[in-house]
Amino acid sequence: MAEVAFLGLGVMGAPMAGHLKNKGGHAVTVYNRTFAKAEAWVAKHGGAAARTPKEAAAGKDFVFACVGNDDDLRAVTIGPDGAFQAMKPGSIFVDNTTASAEVARELHAAAKARGIAFIDAPVSGGQAGAENGVLTVMCGGDAEPFAKAEPVIMAFARACRLLGPSGAGQLAKMMNQICIAGLVQGLSEAVHFGKRAGLDVEAVLEVISKGAAGSWQMENRGKTMVAGKFDFGFAVDWMRKDLDICLAEARRNGAHLPVTALVDQFYSEVQKMGGNRWDTSSLVARLDK
């Protein structure tokens, strides 16, 4: 059993923290900007609630975070009440936020200067993956702290791998989002085409999902796309944030991402339709309007 803090109790963070407490058997202290959420989590799972990241992190072996963006991450780490102010020497900060590789490297260096470790460890699998404890975790950082953190991370994961030095986890997550963007657009076009052709689209998807066209998106979002249901999963606003990170990194490293850039613009159209909080599969809605 480890002493663990978890910072950020959104749709991903709350169940992840729950698995650390209940499946992992760790002593967990939680922090959330809205303290009532932290109190509600403790009422459900046990553990303790803290009013600041600094308070949550004091004396802990591991501090996890799953927050919104680079600025949120800086606030809970190096801010005046940030976790780095209180973490003990040798402790490990595991960042499950989808953020930039730049901020990962920045915080890795800041942590090292304080005698603590930082692992960028973004996740894939969505809300369902978090709730079921089957996330895929892509990590960047140093080998020794990763080896210590991996067994703890596995409380909410089915796969966890160190992919390189600091920032590598975030770069891997960018690859993940680039793949998803193209897949969802292709699936959206297929569903739209099938409807226009007068086919039983659900029946077609059931058949082609068993062949080379099959994907997680087809299996899990195909039927709901046909039905026009987008009230679950990963929101368009968050996908646009992630794609912005991908495109910014591509400008730095010279990669060409024409499809990703195009799909990002398609998502902006969905936002203009009022779909900011719709699931990412709502790309089909702009074709059917």
Q: How confident is the model at residue 34 (pLDDT cuts 50, 70, 90)?
A: very high
Give the angle 120-3-149 at the CA atoms, nearest 5°: 35
According to the model, what pLDDT value does residue 289 have?
86
What's the rounded Cα separation, in Å, for the pair 184 and 148? 36
**What are 126-171's pLDDT values in tens digits?**
999 999 999 999 999 999 999 999 999 999 999 999 999 999 999 9
**What are 171-219's pLDDT values in tens digits?**
999 999 999 999 999 999 999 999 999 999 999 999 999 999 999 999 9
Q: Given 173, 223, 229, 241, which residue is catalytic?
A: 173
According to the model, what pLDDT value does residue 232 have?
83
Q: Is the dihedral of CA 125, 4, 97, 272 positive or negative?
A: positive
Q: Which residues have CB under 8 Å from 233's CB, separation 6+?
A: 126, 127, 128, 221, 279, 280, 281
Residue 272 catalytic?
Answer: no
In angstroms, how far is CA 157 from the centroid of its own chain? 12
Integer CA distances (angstroms), 227 to 18, 186, 195, 202, in order: 32, 17, 11, 9
- Which tokens is 109 given? 């260096």
End-to-end Cα separation, the chain, in angstroms: 53
**What are 58-108's pLDDT values in tens digits?**
999 999 999 999 999 999 999 999 999 999 999 999 999 999 999 999 999
In angstroms, how far is CA 4 from the centroid of its own chain? 19
